[in-house]
Amino acid sequence: MIVTSHGGRVVKLIGDEVMFIASSADRACEATAELLRDLDGLGLPPGRAGVAWGTCLTRDGDYYGDRVNLAARLTELAEPGSALITSATYDALSREFPSRTGASLAAATQNSVRGLPEPVLAYLLRPNSEGV
């Protein structure tokens, strides 16, 4: 429900993970922030996420490619209760994103990502406690 309320579509569930797509970086990050916040509000262990905006290959309703793999790897690196977003995602966000959602974006850091030869620049996204 959260993903679709932000104009996204759930692609698949993988155990306790969800893969979804969205029509804009803002919508992807809004849905991500709300999912993280709501998990915390349910008393569940904190979630973590990775968001990689860009072009993907699609086939039979599933998505493949570098962006999908990068989002999964960033999820592994994210601190509980937060998301790591790629610099391409950050660049695609509207200037109003933080003030409109209350989510905070921290300065970019270089992250060693499994399977990639060079570190990846990623921003830290933390949801607010009141809601998106």
Residue 111 pLDDT = 78
From 101, 131, 123, 104, select the one nearest 37 (Cα to Cα).
Answer: 131
Which pLDDT score, from 0 to 100, does residue 132 have? Answer: 44
Alpha carbon separation from 11 to 7, 17, 118 (Å, rounded): 13, 11, 29
Question: How do the domains of the chain map onto residue ranges?
Answer: 2-126
- Asked if residues 126 and 103 have their Cβ atoms less than 8 Å apart, the reply is yes
Burial-class residue 124 by CB neighbours within 10 Å (0-12, 13-18, 19+): middle
Rounded average pLDDT over 14-24: 93
pLDDT digits (tens, 9 = 90+) for 68-94: 999 999 999 999 999 999 999 999 999
DSSP helix/strand/coil, 96 = coil
Assign domain 2-126 to its CATH architecture. Answer: 2-Layer Sandwich (3.30)
Per the confidence metrics, is the pTM higher than 0.85? yes
Residue-wise pLDDT for 23-70, tens only, equals 999 999 999 999 999 887 787 889 999 999 999 999 999 999 999 999
